[in-house]
């Protein structure tokens, strides 16, 4: 028996020896194991565990949207980090017209555009792509069906380069144009996609990890839980992207991202916290940058719960909060002070910030409401809030601020899914959570925050104000931009003092970059144009 054991040990020893000997040449003294193909490729380290699909009709998660945005073109688009001016994409014109019972938007297509496959992009591809979203009915489809009120037959090609979309009068043409800038409006190569259809899936099985677009990049491969590689699209009609590839590496641990950035293995580190950003700042070869987001972190106050049904109590709670302290101390300046329901960066943003830790005023508001001591429960999610602070720390700060005006708050921390289950059922008292708009238009916030019947945020906080809800619906339909802005100013001003919300801040996104990376412009919708980046 013992004779059998020796060969086994020998094999194990050989195996280890092989590992060591083959490891040494690359490792030994050559510094970081440099990725040999990294020249000309942007290496982007990020936690992309949310990635589900790279199909524009399916992707609705941050990572998916970032990648899809760079592989497909849309009819209209926003440029760089701007979200207020709609620019030409695949369409050269897109004027909405009042057609009696509908809004008709006629899109004239740019000529000479080709897909990666070499197929020309025609009106049929546009109709196929937009109808495909509705037929597949995946996560982002509600933007077309519920928000824009579209049906498959609402989208028609009138000739090879013209597409007409008819929308019901209850939907906002401006809102729809904003939706079309989003990845869900990405135009796919219908011939290519149809050739990969299996059992009526409209090609979504294939598009999960392939691309068939006309954007600056093509999806080369997606290794699940490891990486996605984009390569420059040889048939791209626009300016040729300076970088021939983009490697998005899935690195969930932010310390690891920081190390790789410092070593030069990563060009971009996506998930560094405020402290890590300060740690790398000033180091040779590293630059940091910020990007805006459209998120709002807020406290909802359930107006069906006493004494939160009293508008003065709600105003007192808003007035007592030390917003500046939250932003400067807890978030290290990593957020913008915003107190209205439309975030900075969207049309209709109202920059009024009247509240800041006024204890006397808050106390007198409570007195007016006939309240001297108030006890409430605050529901808080577990984990990190946007901007890099623990939700629990934010909650403790609010608890301390409110204690100063005689409001005692009991903090109840729970997993976000659990919290949402209570919140959706109107079972919260005070609920701290975040909101991001579904599409870059003020209606994506004003609707949910004001319209009780929409069964979204206003409903969850038991705030049924029919006048303001109607004003919100009307504002969405205004096509004149300056009149629309005025309407939103009026609405946000009203909600600021009467609504059941205390908007705490709008977080900023932080990025660590190698200092040779130029042209990095984060769009608040969660994407960036890789084609604008050089290194």
Find the part of the chain contacting another protein (CB under 8 A) among 27-35, 79-87, 128-136, 508-516.
27-35
Among 438, 451, 465, 529, binds another protein (CB under 8 A): 438
- 31 is an interface residue for another protein by CB under 8 A: yes
- Tell the smallest beta-carbon distance from residue 2 to another protein (Å): 6
Determine contact, residues 243/43, Cβ cutoff 8 Å: no
Burial of 406: CB neighbours in 10 Å, binned 0-12, 13-18, 19+: middle
Among 13, 14, 403, 453, binds another protein (CB under 8 A): 13
Read off the tokens for 275: 């402290």
- 516 is an interface residue for another protein by CB under 8 A: no
Q: Over the range 157-175, which residues count as b (16 or more CB within 10 Å of their CB) and which as e?
A: beeebbbbbbbeeebbbbb
Among 18, 400, 403, 453, binds another protein (CB under 8 A): 18
Report which of 149, 383, 113 is spatially closest to residue 235, judged by C-alpha positions.
113
Cβ-based nearer residue to another protein, 47 or 82: 47
Instruction: Tell me which residue has tokens 């590992």.
Output: 19
Report which of 294, 295, 302 is spatially closest to residue 431, judged by C-alpha positions.
302
- 35 is an interface residue for another protein by CB under 8 A: yes
Among 135, 151, 455, 483, binds another protein (CB under 8 A): 455
Task: Tell me how far apart the alpha carbons of residues 445 and 340 are, in angstroms, rounded to a whole number.
Answer: 10
Contact string (CB under 8 A) for another protein, positions 118-157, x = contact = ---------------------x--x---x-----------
Among 420, 486, 521, 532, binds another protein (CB under 8 A): 420
Among 22, 170, 198, 375, binds another protein (CB under 8 A): 22
- Tell the smallest beta-carbon distance from residue 331 to another protein (Å): 21
Query: How far is C-alpha 266 from the geometric centre of its chain's CA atoms?
Result: 23
Interaction residues for another protein, span 206-235 (CB under 8 A): 223-227, 229
Phi-psi bin for 462: left (phi > 0), alpha (psi -120 to 50), beta? left
CA angle 33, 527, 129 (to 5 degrees): 115
Sequence-distant (6+) residues with CB within 8 A of 149 are 167, 168, 170, 171
Cβ-based nearer residue to another protein, 189 or 438: 438
Contact string (CB under 8 A) for another protein, positions 233-272, x = contact = --------------x-xxxxx-xx--xx-xx-x-------
Structure-derived torsion over alpha carbons of residues 412, 446, 389, 406, reported in degrees to the nearest 10: -50
- 57 is an interface residue for another protein by CB under 8 A: no
Radius of gyration over alpha carbons of the chain, in Å?
26
Q: How many residues line the site for another protein (CB under 8 A)?
A: 60
Cβ-based nearer residue to another protein, 229 or 395: 229
Task: Tell me how far apart the alpha carbons of residues 88 and 70 are, in angstroms, rounded to a whole number.
Answer: 16
Instruction: Tell me which residue has tokens 């979200």.
Output: 83
Among 93, 367, 410, 421, binds another protein (CB under 8 A): 421
* Sites of contact with another protein (CB under 8 A): 1-2, 12-13, 15-16, 18-19, 22-23, 26-28, 30-33, 35-38, 43, 49, 52-53, 139, 142, 146, 223-227, 229, 247, 249-253, 255-256, 259-260, 262-263, 265, 415-418, 420-421, 424, 433, 435, 438, 448, 455-456
């Amino acid at each position: 028996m013992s004779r059998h054991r020796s060969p086994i040990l020998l094999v194990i020893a050989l195996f280890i020896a092989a590992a060591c000997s083959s490891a040494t040449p690359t490792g030994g003294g050559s510094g970081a194991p440099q990725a040999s193909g990294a020249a000309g490729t942007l290496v982007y380290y990020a936690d992309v565990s949310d990635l589900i699909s790279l199909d524009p009709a399916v992707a609705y998660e941050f990572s998916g949207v970032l990648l899809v945005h760079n592989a497909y073109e849309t009819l209209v688009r926003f440029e760089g980090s701007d979200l207020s001016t709609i620019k030409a994409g695949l369409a050269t014109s897109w004027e909405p017209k009042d057609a009696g019972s509908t809004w008709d938007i006629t899109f004239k297509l740019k000529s000479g555009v080709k897909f990666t496959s070499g197929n020309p992009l025609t009106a049929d591809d546009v109709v196929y792509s937009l109808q495909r979203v509705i037929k597949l009915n995946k996560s982002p489809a509600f933007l077309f069906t519920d928000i824009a009120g579209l049906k498959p037959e609402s989208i028609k090609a009138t000739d090879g380069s013209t597409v007409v979309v008819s929308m019901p009068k209850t939907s906002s043409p401006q809102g729809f144009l904003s939706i079309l800038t989003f990845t869900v409006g990405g135009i796919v190569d219908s011939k290519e996609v149809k050739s990969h259809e299996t059992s009526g899936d409209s090609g979504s099985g294939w598009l999960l990890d392939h691309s068939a677009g006309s954007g600056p990049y093509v999806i080369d491969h997606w290794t699940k839980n490891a990486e996605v590689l984009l390569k420059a699209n040889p048939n791209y009609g626009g300016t040729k992207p300076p970088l021939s590839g983009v490697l998005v590496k899935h690195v969930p641990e932010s310390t690891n991202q920081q190390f790789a950035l410092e070593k030069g293995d990563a060009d971009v580190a996506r998930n560094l916290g405020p402290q890590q950003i300060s740690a790398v700042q000033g180091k040779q070869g590293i630059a940091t940058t910020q990007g805006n987001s459209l998120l709002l972190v807020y406290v909802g106050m359930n107006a069906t719960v006493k004494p939160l049904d009293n508008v003065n109590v709600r105003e007192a709670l808003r007035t007592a909060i030390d917003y500046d302290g939250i932003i400067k101390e807890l978030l290290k300046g990593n957020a913008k002070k915003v107190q209205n329901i439309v975030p900075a960066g969207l049309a209709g943003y109202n920059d009024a910030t009247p509240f800041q830790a006024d204890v006397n005023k808050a106390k007198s508001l409570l007195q007016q409401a006939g309240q001297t001591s108030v006890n409430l429960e605050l529901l808080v999610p577990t984990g990190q809030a946007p901007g890099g602070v623990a939700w629990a720390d934010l909650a403790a700060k609010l608890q301390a601020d409110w204690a100063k005006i005689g409001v005692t708050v009991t903090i109840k921390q729970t997993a976000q899914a659990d919290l949402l289950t209570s919140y959706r059922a109107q079972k919260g008292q005070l609920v701290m959570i975040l909101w991001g708009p579904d599409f870059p238009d003020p209606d994506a916030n004003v609707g949910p925050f004001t319209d009780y019947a929409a069964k979204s945020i206003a409903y969850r906080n038991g705030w049924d104000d029919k006048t303001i809800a109607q004003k919100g619906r009307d504002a969405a339909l205004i096509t004149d931009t300056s009149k629309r802005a005025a309407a939103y100013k009026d609405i946000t001003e009203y909600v600021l003092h009467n609504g059941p919300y205390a908007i705490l801040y709008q977080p900023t996104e932080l990025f660590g970059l190698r200092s040779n990376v130029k042209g990095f412009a984060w769009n608040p919708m969660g994407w960036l144009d890789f084609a604008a980046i050089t290194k």
